[in-house]
Structure 1
Amino acid sequence: MHLSPTDSEPSQPRRRTRVSRTTRSAVATAAAGAFIALALLPVTAAQAAAPAAVTRTVAAAPTAECAEPAAAPTYLTNIRTGRHAGFDRIVLDFSGNVPAYGSIGGPDQLQYCGSGQTVPLTGAEYTEITTNAAAHDENGDPTYPGPRLVYTPHLAKVTGFAVTCDFEGHLNVGFATKAGVTEIHTFPLTNPGRIVIDVRY
């Protein structure tokens, strides 16, 4: 009977290739070097040009105790602006207590709540202060006699503001800001009631 070379030769056990400690150390060092090189890659032009996010902080208005009667309606009476060292300030004056309020913002332009039309203010960021108040009394007469759209070239970063909503107890005032704003801080003050918005840069 004819035997094939494979049948005639006894099989030899395979030896596992050993990796020396020196080789393992070299591989680990190379991997660490590649990781460090990736971490030290220069920032791309697009990343460097990306603007820093604006920090928005909102201090809550003081709330009445449960035992106290419900607060009377409060109305917007004035909007004031001023330029200070390092920040622009917007102040919303009210006839009574500071209403509940919040703040929303981003790169999207402001819109009037009734018509949905875009508010003609330009800027890099847009912020809207939302309140449970009104700019008119129960008879429909305005409590805020000022214009509903104001441009503010005298301010450093705020380009203008507008009353964006005054409907069924919802009063919103929005404003636009140029690039370079670092923080928009909103807080209440009392006697008289007012909401203060500091636009810091």
Structure 2
Amino acid sequence: MVRSKTVWATALLLTATLGAAAVPAVAAPAAAPLAAAACPTGWSSLGKTRSGSTSGEYITNVRTGRHACYDRFVVDVPDATAAQLGYSVRYVNRLIGDPSGEVIPVRGGAILEIVVRAPAYDPDTGAATYSGRTGRRLPGVNLTGYRTFRDTRFGGSFEGQTQFGLGVRARLPFRVLQRDGHLVVDVAHTW
């Protein structure tokens, strides 16, 4: 019994000594790619567009969320089905307000222009259904603690479509998802 404990202790000490000598000092960062491998892949930074019409439906809110691999931007269009939601999401050099043609400053290393084919006003009465103001930050959206998002701006709502500017850290891959009542834009933290 004493001999097996001695053999076991010697083997443990030998393994620890040889293992430490055999592992180079740079081996510890190898764990980082494993975490990144769990994130979604296959997204691109190319523009994404889908035609659609949301006759009678309108935008009521915009919100954001943080996830392990991406930051999320959500536009709420409560009565629209996924099949109705049309959009255009693309990187632009400058956010140009529609229809004013004025440049709207957006902070960040890159700017995503998000155009939703739904108004931010009631088409029947003309009353605003979303409290965004042209050129201003989006109301109720706080980007503190986000890894990718840097700024949000309301571009305006004109002729049945609404424009947003999303400032991001860099030109990163993104995806667009359509859900009943929501348009979702996810921007990855890394390539």
TM bucket, shorter chain:
0.5 to 0.7
Distance in 2, Cα, partners of 1:82 & 1:189: 16
Residues 60 and 188, structure 1, Cα contact 8 Å, conserved in 2: no
- Inter-CA distance 198–112: structure 2 relative to 1 (3 Å threshold): same
Distance in 1, Cα, partners of 2:46 & 2:145: 23
* SS at 1:195 equivalent: strand
CA distances 1:145-190 after superposition (whole Å, capped 9, x unpaired): 35652362332111121221301112112211112x5311111011
Distance in 2, Cα, partners of 1:90 & 1:131: 12
Match of 1:90 in 2: 73
Query: Could you tell me how far 1:134 is from its partner in structure 2?
Result: 0.2
Paired residues for 1:1-201 under 5 Å: 55-56=45-46, 58=48, 60=50, 72-97=55-80, 98=82, 99-106=85-92, 108-137=93-122, 138-145=124-131, 148-150=136-138, 152-179=143-170, 181-190=171-180, 193-201=181-189
Q: Cα RMSD between the aligned structures? A: 2.5
Unaligned runs of 5+ in 2: 1-43
- Inter-CA distance 146–163: structure 2 relative to 1 (3 Å threshold): closer
Query: Could you tell me how far 1:57 is from its partner in structure 2?
Result: 6.3
Aligned residues: 137
Distance in 2, Cα, partners of 1:128 & 1:112: 10
Query: Could you tell me how far 1:104 is from its partner in structure 2?
Result: 2.1
- Inter-CA distance 100–156: structure 2 relative to 1 (3 Å threshold): same
The percent identity for this pair of structures is 28
Query: Could you tell me how far 1:71 is from its partner in structure 2?
Result: 6.0
Residues 149 and 163, structure 1, Cα contact 8 Å, conserved in 2: yes
Query: Could you tell me how far 1:136 is from its partner in structure 2?
Result: 0.6
* SS at 1:171 equivalent: strand
